[in-house]
Amino acid sequence: MVNFMRDPAGDLPWEEDPAGSDVLHFADYTSFQRHLRKDMRPMLIMFYVPWCGFCKRLKPDYSKAATELNGKNYVIAAMDVERVENAPARRAYNITGFPTILYFERGQVKRTYEGENNKDGIVAFMQDPNAAPVQKEKESDWSADPNSEIVHLTNQGFEPALKDEKSVLVMFYAPWCGHCKRMKPEYEKAAVTMKERKIPGVLAALDATKEKEIADQFKVRGYPTLKYFVNGVFKFDVNVRDAAKIIEFMRDPKEPPPPPPPEKPWEDEEDTEVIFLNEDNFNTLLKRKKHSLVMFYAPWCGHCKKTKPEFSAAAEALKDDPRVVFAAVDCTKHQSLCQSHGVNGYPTIIYFSYLKTKADYSAGRSSKDFISYMTNPNLSATEPVYSKHKLDEL
């Protein structure tokens, strides 16, 4: 219910999904550490983030494996490392990609799981973790496909192949890249359609893992990357993935509009009455204010972005009241401060009075809602502040 109220339109949290009931979900890093000290059973744990596509695809098989192994002296576990309280796990195990799956024995990490990403592979691994992993089928060489209508480029042939062509779209790819694999049939389909309809232009591809010199020359940093050339001269990057869009572009190649400028950090906005807090000024400011409303947020959070202008408008409306302050904490910068106030979702909005009492704010998120609440806070819902910030005052 708590997760639903934080994000009503989001996916059902894994720990609330009945299909994943046999997966042990760690609520925080502390409980994970406690488990490692007390439970010596072999454990496989998947460190994931909710928005990860690969994680979402693996979850059903992972859950089925947990169900099949339930009661057989194994632990199949998971941890959402996007949550602030689980951030220490990312540092402790150097987690930089998702999902990361680690195998533990007697409370100690033994290895990274590299088996098949399906139920049978996970079950087989847990039953015999020392067995050699099943060799995955070798990826076929796209450039060796005799039926391909794509022009496959190399370091030596790149310039000669492009210099006499007036319109060439080049796909820089990596054989292991999932997005590239999904795009390949669309790219092939577009090439066949262009040939059938006599649409001018060439669709080409270059394996950036083999032809690194060319990839480096054109500053390829991710896959797939599409670049448009005229007579061998690079003109601009293109962001099209499906056949229809590729064909539409090649009919009338035009440079896409530039991307919007990066979003200005909220604390750098000049016309806001919101005060931005950190570990140094949190106590100092709040203990002097009778009514403080603090929004704990993350810059990338969609709900936070929607709330920001309403929160700022309320701060502007009540700026002349010396008893009132609207404040905000960026939890991506001040994790310990957010963790000390139990923040595990964004935005979390908390009311404080002189930093002696606090109450979770659960009313609406319009400026009128904020103003109404701060004009007449629900003090009956407050509770004493028991945190290190309170102790610092004593």
Residue 7 lies in a domain: no
Structural domain of residue 326, as residue ranges? 266-375
Q: How many domains are contained in the chain?
A: 3
Tell me the pLDDT tens digit for each residue of 12-58: 789 888 888 999 999 889 999 999 999 999 999 999 988 887 888 89
Q: Do 84 and 155 reside in the same domain of the chain?
A: no
The one catalytic residue in 52, 55, 180, 331 is 180
Task: Report helix, strand or coil for 122.
Answer: helix
249 has a pLDDT exceeding 70: yes
Q: Is 304 a catalytic residue?
A: yes
- Say what the pLDDT of residue 379 is: 59
Residue 141 lies in a domain: no
Instruction: Say which residues have a Cβ less than 8 Å from residue 122's Cβ, sequence separation at least 6.
Output: 44, 61, 62, 65, 76, 113, 115, 116
Q: Do 277 and 366 reside in the same domain of the chain?
A: yes
Residue 392 lies in a domain: no
Q: Do 178 and 94 reside in the same domain of the chain?
A: no
**pTM score > 0.75 for this model?**
no
- Say what the pLDDT of residue 136 is: 54
pLDDT confidence band for 131 (50 / 70 / 90): confident
The one catalytic residue in 52, 55, 301, 331 is 301
Q: Is 331 a catalytic residue?
A: no
Q: Do 247 and 274 reside in the same domain of the chain?
A: no
Residue 389 lies in a domain: no
3 has a pLDDT exceeding 50: no
Tell me the pLDDT tens digit for each residue of 177-223: 878 888 999 999 999 999 999 999 999 999 999 999 999 999 998 88
Query: Integer distance in angstroms from the first to the last C-alpha of the chain?
Result: 37
Residue 9 lies in a domain: no
Closest CA to 175 of 152, 147, 202, 203: 152
Tell me the pLDDT tens digit for each residue of 257-280: 877 777 789 999 888 999 999 999
Among 227, 251, 275, the domain boundary falls at: 251
The one catalytic residue in 52, 55, 177, 338 is 177
The one catalytic residue in 55, 304, 331, 338 is 304
Among 251, 286, 316, the domain boundary falls at: 251
Least confident of 7-16, 145-154, 162-171, 311-320: 7-16
Q: Do 296 and 365 reside in the same domain of the chain?
A: yes
Residue 343 lies in a domain: yes
- For position 366, which CATH number holds? 3.40.30.10
